[in-house]
Structures are given as C-alpha cells and as structure tokens.
Amino acid sequence: MDALELVRQIGSVEEIERTAESCSGDAIPAFNTHIHLPPNFSAFETVREAIEQAAAEGLKVLGAGNYYDFSVYEPFAEGCRRRGVFPLFSTEIITLDEPLLHKGIRINDPGNPGKMYLCGKGIRRWAALSPRGQELLAAIRRNDAERMRQMIGKMSEHFRRCGLLIELDDRAVIQRVVRRHRCEPSTVTLQERHAAQAFQEVFFEKVSPNERIERLTALFGTAPKSRPEDAVGIQNEIRSHLMKAGKPCFVPETFLSPAQAEELIGHLGGIVCYPVLADGSSPVCEFEASPEELAKTLLQRGYWMAEFISLRNSPEVLVRYVRTLRQAGIAVTVGTEHNTLEKPPLKPACLKGMPLPEEVKTLFWEGTCVLAAHQFLSAHGKEGFVCSKEMSDDTRRCARIERFARLGAAVLKRYFEKASQG
C-alpha cells in the first residue's frame, strides 16, 4: 500500500473537519514521533520489530525519521496499519551553519560548532521528488558515501599499523548492513556507527577477550573504559578515539547549509523542525543557552516546530524549554531516536527514566496531532502546517497550532476507529 494512501483512506477533509471539535478532552495515548528504522543504524533489526515493540508498549502513534532513503516507509506504513498504529514520516538532515561555525557557537551538536541537525516532519513527496529535491538529496548521499569510503579506508590502515589485519572497505560494511537487515544495498546510507560496529565485530572475531584491552590500548593510544566483552561500549570508543575530529581516522564532512536543508524539506512537503538538545549537553550549547532566545531565533529562521529527545533531559529543564517554545507559538514533539544498539522503552521519558511531566506530555501530544493533521491535509493535496501567513505574532501562531491539533486529533480518532474495525 502507498504510505500516504493509508492516510487518505481515513476520510475526506470536509468529513474530518466536521468532527474535529468533538475530539478535545480525549485521553492521551502513548506516542513517539522520532525513531530510526533499519537500514539506518537502529536499535531494531527489522521494521517489524520496531512496530511490534510499539504495539506491545501500547503506542498508538510512531514516527520514523530516517536519513536520506525512504523506501522503508512503505513496509513501515503497512506494518503500522496491521497493528493499529498511526505512522508519521520524517527525515533528519545534518547541516553546517558557516557563520556560527566561525563564531565558535555550538548549536545542537555539543562537539562541533556550527553543526546543526534539522528534521523534516510529515514529509510526503519522497516517491515523486522534484528535480531540485533529487539534486539536493543526491548531493547529500554522494558526499556521505565518499566520506565513509575514505574513513573506512583510514580505519583499515590504522588497524593494520597496529598489527591487526581487518580488510574492510565501504562495500564490505554495506554488505554487513544488507545481511543484517535483509535490505537492498541502494537503500543503505552508511553512518559512523555502521563502520564502528563492523570493525568491532571483526576485532572480536580476531582477538580473544583476554587480549582485547592491550590491543585496544594500542589502537586508541589510551586504555579503553569498556569491558573487553562490551561490544556496544567498544563501538562507541572506536568512534570517539578514532573517528572524531582530531583523531587518526577522521575525515571532514561536507554538509548542506541550513537554507539548502530547508529547501529540501520543502520539496519533500515537510515541516522544518529543530531538534533541541538543552541539558543533553553540559554545558548547554550556546545556541540554546536561553529558551527565550532560542524561541526568538527559531522564529526568525521560520522554524515553527521543535522536537526533544527527552531521555537526555531533566524534567525541570524540559518543562522550561517546552513551555517557553510553545508559548512563543512553536509546536513541540518528542521521540527517542533508538539510533544505538541500546533498546530503551519506546514510550518517551526523561533522564534516568523519570516520567514526562503532565504539562509537557500534553504539549507533546498536541504537537503529534499537528503532525497528523499536516500529513492528512498534505495527502489530500491541501496546504499543511508550513504556511506562514498566519504566523506574524504569538497569538496567531498559537491559534494555528490549536486548530491543527484539533484536526489531527480527529484524524487519529478516525484512524483508530477504522483499525479497531479491522
């Protein structure tokens, strides 16, 4: 089934609009607007595994935010339909803000000034992308592929110099991803985590546990902190000791500018969304140091939505940032990413598993409903949440969020009713 046909089948725009006012006050279900699905680096082996865990935890809405290939969204949509879960389709793009780089300002990457993650939420045009959109997406894929080719080559040479013959190149790492997730090679966007996992796996095959600390010390130039049998820990240390800026296997990245990423998100029919790190970094990144200034800056850039990976944040800080952004007329959402091999619950929580404060949970659900409305309207060829003509002041922006949230609640209610009827 066409991923967006699933959304269109909910009903006509006029029909859903008539029922929107009656949906306020309904109980808030569990939801998550941002995870990564394989073949992106993911906690999950398969799309089905992610959906089954969501259903087992009682999630009713699940959003995928993959990098640079969206072929997985068709099986994702169909799997969600079978389990009565509403799918959200998004993407994540890494950009470089040159002016902020030169000023040394960290944005939402604590280790790299000027590096900015942006999300495109509620995308829909990936199957019929415009020529300009294809050009931008191809540039990202080409730049990423060349960087990973060079980095994996440097990794193999570094291991060889340290007495370990690990014959991996980019094609071999892609084939490992293909075997793991049973996917087509063309759908794989290699990430640093893929390479680190491949080198860790071959290292474990070649080196016995009682020799690993000594060998890793030679590779890293310092003793590892991870136990010799801790695969995930050693993968993370391979990245931090060998692949990051200033390390022996580092290769500089070539990024789109924020403006180009915004353009691509527009061609995909999505909402530009800023991922907030907040106290996920210590100290907080300069770009985000004040939630009031962050709200002002996001609005100046035309970013009407922000997303939190709340597992990074204390409840107190989360309340402060979420409340401030929403009062400024910026819709807010929440996810878990699940972009490492650790597998926490899909239901978002705060740092150390503390529950989301009720105020924050309510605002995150509102943002989730905005996304559902945007996807629904876009699937019907209507204008979604990206229009700026009503966003000249806080009051109008907030009213627009509330209107879209009511419509999205009606969309979700109808979807769940249809799902329960089989």
What's the confidence (pLDDT) of residue 400?
A: 93
- How far, in Å, CA of 133 to CA of 239, rounded? 31
Q: Are residues 213 and 351 in the same domain?
A: no
Q: Which domain holds residue 107?
A: 3-16+27-129+268-420
Quick one: how many helices (H) and strands (E) in the chain? Answer: 15, 7
Cβ–Cβ < 8 Å for 356, 318: yes
Which residue blocks in 84-228 are alpha helix, DSSP H?
98-102, 131-161, 170-181, 192-206, 209-220
Where is the domain boundary, 226, 243, 260? 243
Domain count, the chain: 2
Q: Are residues 237 and 275 in the same domain?
A: no
Q: Are residues 306 and 395 in the same domain?
A: yes
> Which of these, 196, 144, 203, 149, lies nearest to 171 by C-alpha position?
149
For residue 84, the domain's CATH number is 3.20.20.140
Measured at the alpha carbon of residue 116, what is the angle toward residues 114 and 120, in degrees to the nearest 5?
Answer: 155
Spell out the per-residue pLDDT of the chain, length 422, in tens: 577 788 888 889 998 988 887 766 678 999 999 999 999 999 999 999 999 999 999 999 999 999 998 999 999 999 999 999 999 999 999 999 999 999 999 999 998 899 999 999 999 989 889 999 999 999 999 999 999 999 999 999 999 999 999 989 999 999 999 999 999 999 999 999 999 999 999 999 999 999 999 999 999 999 999 999 999 999 999 999 999 889 999 999 899 999 999 999 999 999 999 999 999 999 999 999 999 999 999 999 999 999 999 999 999 999 999 999 999 999 999 999 999 998 999 999 999 999 999 999 999 999 999 999 999 999 999 989 976 555 667 888 999 999 999 999 999 999 998 888 76
Kindly state whether residue 258 falls inside one of the protein's structural domains: no
What's the confidence (pLDDT) of residue 241?
A: 97
Cβ–Cβ < 8 Å for 29, 174: no
Q: Are residues 175 and 229 in the same domain?
A: yes
Q: Concatenated DSSP letters for 168-196? A: --HHHHHHHHHHHHT--GGG----HHHHH
Cβ–Cβ < 8 Å for 287, 317: no
What's the confidence (pLDDT) of residue 389?
A: 53
- Residue 321 burial (C-beta neighbours within 10 Å; 0-12, 13-18, 19+): buried
Q: Are residues 153 and 91 in the same domain?
A: no
Kindly state whether residue 134 falls inside one of the protein's structural domains: no
Kindly state whether residue 262 falls inside one of the protein's structural domains: no
Q: Is 314 helix (H, G, I), strand (E, B) or coil?
A: coil
Kindly state whether residue 45 falls inside one of the protein's structural domains: yes
Integer CA distances (angstroms), 163 to 157, 207, 214, 234, 249, in order: 10, 11, 12, 18, 16
- Phi then psi dihedrals of residue 118, to 5 deg: -130, 150
Kindly state whether residue 257 falls inside one of the protein's structural domains: no
Q: Are residues 122 and 147 in the same domain?
A: no
Q: Are residues 280 and 399 in the same domain?
A: yes
- Phi then psi dihedrals of residue 93, to 5 deg: -130, 135
Q: Are residues 355 and 401 in the same domain?
A: yes
Q: Are residues 226 and 298 in the same domain?
A: no
Where is the domain boundary, 206, 226, 243? 243
Q: Are residues 226 and 91 in the same domain?
A: no
Kindly state whether residue 136 falls inside one of the protein's structural domains: no
What's the confidence (pLDDT) of residue 118?
A: 98
Q: Are residues 103 and 154 in the same domain?
A: no
Q: Measured on CA atoms in the order 321, 322, 327, 333, is the torsion positive or negative?
A: positive
Where is the domain boundary, 227, 243, 259? 243
What's the confidence (pLDDT) of residue 387?
A: 60
Scan for tokens 């089989």, then name that residue.
422
Cβ–Cβ < 8 Å for 279, 110: no
Q: Are residues 368 and 402 in the same domain?
A: yes
Q: In this structure, are strands 86-96 and 115-121 parallel, antiparallel, or unpaired? A: antiparallel
